[in-house]
Structure 1
Amino acid sequence: MNYKIGVFTAMGMLALLVSCTTKPELRTHISDILNQIDTLSYTQPEKAIHIIDSTLNNSESLTALEKTKLTFNKGEILFLNDNYIDAINTQLSTLEAFKSLNESYYVGNCLITLSSAYLHLQAFDKSQEYALQALNVAQEIKHEKLLSKAYNRLFYLHFHLKDYSQALQYITKSDSLITKSTDTTSIIATKSNIASLYLQLKQYNKALENYALAMNLSRHSSDVKTLVTVLNNIGFTYIEAGDLDSAKKFLKGAATLNKNINSINAAPFKGLGNVFLLDQQLDSASYYYHHALTAYHQNSNFKDKVEVYDKLVAIAILEQDFQKALSAQKKRDSIQRIITATEKDQLLSFANVKYEVKKQETELQYQKEINNANRLLFISIALSLLLLLITLIVFYVNLKLHSKNKASALEQKLLRAQMNPHFIFNALAAIQNITLEGDPLKSSQHIAKFAKLIRQNFDYVRKDKISLDKEISMITNYIETQRLRFNNVFNYQIDISGVDDSTKVFIPPMLLQPFVENAIEYGVKDKKDTLGLVTICIRKEGSSLFFSIEDNGVGRNEASKHKRISETEHATDVFLERLNRRKKKEELSFTIEDLYNTDGQPIGTKVSFTLILI
């Protein structure tokens, strides 16, 4: 629902911008400049800001109110175009200026913009602080429009926090105030926000009722794009309600209006793709998803393209056209790589890894050259000693190499065994059950997660180190797949502390999975009395990284009565051997603790160990 809230946030801010451009104290030519800025704020924001800066540079003839009003409008334009940090800095200075001018109405508007910007930055405490200040100002000056905006701002905050009951109270207050006005744009935004809230509460009739009011108002306005947005939202509401025929009707209407006004909007096509996928009309779903991709290509919307390609992969798998699935997956992955490539730190990390590999190869080559030189030296000294020495060296090197290759092969084999056929078949069976139950959208989501887990296992098993964020992503996908297998009989929690950037912390791959698997298979899966919980704690302590995997399951003693635990012990031996090969004494930190309550009853198991990062 974020895209719906975002659209109407922008509409509300535009209404705010328009409402703040006329004041009797402003001279006519300044009012004309502000009116010109209004028309450019969306279509040509850079030009609008240039006009404001040029006017402020010639500020000798401007009054204090005119300077502050121009700066305020600049902050609004920055906010409307997603420059939230610059908008905050601009409006903080404007806020103090309006306070000194005793302009309470504009003080309230500044506070509302600050609350909106901080909400987009997910600084919820700051957003609430400024919204409540705006509410106090509006109540003091008894300004209904400002009061409605303050209530609306508090609605957005609680909506994002998923506190829907409180959000409903605020938006209802806003609606009671805004309905009395003639501000059609604000009324449409408020009705749509109410509908979005009811949609989250799954009260579809009330959601459609409010969307219908917004649609009727949009039809009588000249803003066709707003009408398209409302029609699109109605379509998505019908999808949620399970009325696919009605969803098609409104989404096709939105697509037709977009075509009439030559607007690039992929949302209706994406919605139609979802409808036909749910209706198991795979050809039509694919057709509309490709239309959505065409629109996304023009907008360079990479994240949405990745989402659509995930759907196309799922469709191809359902059609058993694995070549098409592979082609779509390759395109999806190429776009994902574009997104990833924008992160400078990841590129630097990749460069560092390549440097380390090259350094090791150079050192190995240098060592070989030394060995060759020594061999020639021994030949020149004595043939017999040389033959004996060569025999001993060859025997020793071969024995060491054989031992090393055997250990490496065993480790790789056991690491790959973590994604064993038993687990794969059970996971696929669970996904098949969802599909047979008539929920292809949910099954496609699980297929995408499962495919990502398989890809992660085969990618990471060939690496010596991976970043902590990749390890967490892989273990999260693994746990979600296990939850699907066992019908959500347990929950999980991952707590990370002390790590500033998980993309810069590197650890051996797939360390956590054996112990998480044990916690699920031998602990929480068979828990009867309460819901199982697996907790993973990761804590950076200086140059070390502490890990613990804890479950509230039946305990090892109880599990051993019903299940063989030899595989668990074998996986532990391999884990300790992997730590031992790092030669940092990390294996000494490894502990397995049986947990008991005050009555001596088993209440779970806790595994912990520490890695040295340097």
Structure 2
Amino acid sequence: MSRLLKWAAFLWPLFVFSMSYAQDSRIDSLLTALKNPKLHDTTRLRTIALFRDQYYTGADKNYYYLSKVLGDLAYKKYQQKSTNAPKLQKKYTMWLGSYYSLLGSEYFKKPDHEKGLFYFDKSIAFHKEAKEFKHMHFAMISKAALLTKLKRYDEAIPNVFQALKYFESHKDEVYAEDFAYAYYSLAYVYLKQGKFEKAIEYYEKTLKCYQEYDKNNYVDYHMGKTRSRMAEAYFGMKDYEQAMRFSQQSQQLIKGMNDATLEIENLCRIGMVHLERSEMDQAENIFRQALALQPSETTILAEEAFFHGNLAMGRLYAEKQDLSKAAFYTEKALSIAQTINEGFQLTDASKQLYDISLRRKDYKRALEMFQLQQKLGDASKIEASKNAMAQQQLRYDFEKKELKLKLDAEKKEAAQRNWLIALSGVLLLILLGAYFYYRNSKQKQAIATLEKNQIKQKLLITQMNPHFIFNSVQNIRNLIDRQKNDDAVKYLDEFSVLTRQILENSNENYISLDEEVAMVKNYLSIQQLLYNHKFNYAVRVADDLETDSIFLPPMLTQPFIENAIKHGLSHTGVNGMIDIRFFLDAGKLCFEVTDNGKGFDANKAASNHKSMAMNITRERLVGYTKNQDFAVHTSNLQDQDGNVVGAKVSFEIPYIYEN
């Protein structure tokens, strides 16, 4: 890069000095300087491009002459691919792609449009080979403009939108002027389709892009071109005021920029506005200014501008009743249309000349124009048929190409995805291994904790069993001492059954509610016998409880029942009542035991006995629920007068449900 700047600094004074000479002398000076053997070919190519863009525009033939010099050098170096380094080969490929794009633009301005399409396709191919996708999409936009010129809109639009899609997804490498080029081309498609409002929308986007740049000749020129096209759209909408305003703005911006073709277009449009307003003198004056201009190079665009100018003059004189001059200018317009072989222009000119010939009573010429219109009509039908077939074929080719690109992209994505899946798989295996190791450790800890809790629970039960057995043996002894041998035997039988139940359940972590209720009833019957039937009891289980599916820790309720019998009914002579309930409350299994004794205050005053079984049971409940604040709810039962008529104990039982 530094070498390029060095040579550019060396060559530029020579270019500036040569400005005082004619164009040929200036180019000769450039070509002489480029013969310096110390210059690298990439420097030569860049210098040619800088010189061309500095001193010439696309309206000047020398612009295309220098482009050919650049293209010949690029092609020569491209052909030496076997000896070129990869980076150099890429640069020569890029330059060649740019040259073919310019060549396509050159044929755009000539009647040979098929060559223009051919060179745009070559430009696209070379830029793709160099992986220069930005410039490849520029060439696609240029191709779309030419397709629009040929009214092949279905082929033009996908090219523009594909380029816009690329620009949107690569904003880091795309400038505002690039978007402007795409918007301008898309607007041109809509303009030629007669969708004027849509065209204006995209021309406004084009102007907005150019407004982001500092004001200079390049920006002014392109803003002038854009405003000219907007004026054309407004004229098509019959908004003549806006058409006039934008045409005049375009004229001011392109003044002195050597684009006579665009000036002719603007002047003709301004003249047509005057003509629509019946301002004949102003219109004639403007049309004469337009036809007096001479483009530096004869192109199809210049010919089209002159066509519109002569056709407009013909219409002007026809409305002024000067039929001779009307026929003269319309004949010139028809001659131009025949030269450039544009069907719709031939149609417009032949129709106008037909009307003028009839008014002049030149029936022979009128018949010739009528026959020409008939011929053009048949030709247009044939051409439409051909175009329809061509468009179908091109659409098929385009979709086929798109499919291939999509499949190639999918293959590439699949390869990347496979690598990603493989790496993800390895990472997932590592994570799963770490997770299972962590979970295994946690499970071992949980199992150890559970086993510890189960051992503790069993230990608590074993602490409680001797206490219960001790109490029962004492009760049997009391019966024997009181010589109630039959009761003692009956008590002993029932006690043996209960003892077997307790021993069996002591080895279980959970027993069914059905088994718990059976054990409670057996225990109550023994206690009833011991207390000489001083009390009755009731064990109620709620209907919505499935007693064979609900499992709870064994021996949780017995100490509270024992406490209700022993302490709650200690001062009751007869008609004692123990009421036991198992029920669900908000999905929680609850136990409740009530008695009709003296209540808790009376019990406390009467006895200082401390129930070991109840303390053990509370500790078990805390262990099962993991709740240190677990509470056993106690309260006195009162009658309407506020007298204590009994006591109630309730708590939540931890349980599991098995279906």
TM-score bracket, shorter-length normalisation: 0.3 to 0.5
- TM-score w.r.t. the length of structure 1 is 0.44
- TM-score w.r.t. the length of structure 2 is 0.42
